[in-house]
Amino acid sequence: MEALLKHLVDITCQRDHTLLDSSIVSALHELVGASRVFVHELFRFRDELYIRPRVGINNGKIVSMEEAPDNHGEPITRYPALVESIKQRKTCMEDVNAAGDRTLWLPVWLNDKVSTCLEVTNPTPYSSHTLHMMEGILSVYRNYQNILDYSERDSLTGLLNRKTFDEKFSRLLTSSSPESGLQERDERRHQPAPGIGQWLAVVDIDHFKRVNDQFGHLYGDEVLILVANLLRQSFRSQDRVFRFGGEEFVVLLRSTTLEDARKIFERFRTNVEQHEFPQVGKVTVSLGFASISNESPVVILGHADQALYYAKANGRNRVCYYDELVKSGELHSEVSNDTVEFF
């Protein structure tokens, strides 16, 4: 009982999804003796449901894979027991492989949807008492995950909020995990292929004030919601999309080349341009992006912001890349005493 209470306290004191995931895998590993526990994320990509690991414990070692550049996920159809559990709306489904290892798939249901599931593997079957204890632990995890999710998301669009951006961007810039309680990650997972980079984009809805003034704030809110939906559809699950405030959004695009990044951003711009917004009609966006380098977060965000304002000052409804603007002489930067001034 003392060990159970300790883990429940650990789960409910977390203020971050990664640490919460670490707490639940540690609790299940210790309390039920599981040899392997993983928290997976479920997401849709091109109308197909995918699964990818976020945090896991294998052979006693906790690893976080959320920021790994090669963690793209795989189709959920490779795991029939999980597919069946979701189809039947069950909270638990057991699968036994050829070696006799037993895997429990535990979908985490929130508002009749599943975006998270747990995978618990053990060579021997669990007793009804152990299963009942696992169900209780998962109920606490589910409730607290819902609380964290609410605090991390913008209430209007459902996208991640500005506070969450600060945390996730800092984590992306850190080569090793900064969180206490996590083991060191496998550094080989973080070595990008040549030409592969990370990118930050700032998106702004063109003439948004005109929408509010002409049609009212209710239609303005609807435009924000629809643009947020187009952002979700245009980017992959391993990318991150945030509402920064007002009509401004930020995208962290990960593990892709400059050419592909430009195509992805242009595709999103085109998707917005071609979308028919009820009552309002046509809406466009401007986008500025920059590479995520070893500079400070403020400098990188400043680069993307400068590219955005250049786009808005030069026709709108366009995508601009900061380094190209500097190289062509359209923007100038001066480096002095380790600071950067923008003109």
The catalytic site residues sit at 247
For tokens 């050829």, what's the residue?
A: 98
Nearest to 279 by CA among 242, 226, 200: 226
- Reading the block at residue 5, the tokens are 């209470």
> CA geometry: angle at 110 spanning 104 and 116, to 5°?
45
- Reading the block at residue 101, the tokens are 């290892």
Across 13-143, the runs of DSSP E, i.e. the strands, are 36-45, 48-58, 61-64, 74-75, 93-96, 102-110, 113-122
Nearest to 268 by CA among 312, 172, 202: 202
Q: SS3 helix, strand, coil % of the chain, rounded to 5?
A: 40, 30, 30
Using CA atoms, how far apart are residues 25 and 105, in angstroms rounded to an integer? 13
Nearest to 126 by CA among 96, 97, 86, 88: 96
Provide CB contacts within 8 A for 228, sequence distance 6+: 157, 158, 159, 241, 243, 249
- Torsion angles phi and psi, residue 197, rounded to 5: -140, 180
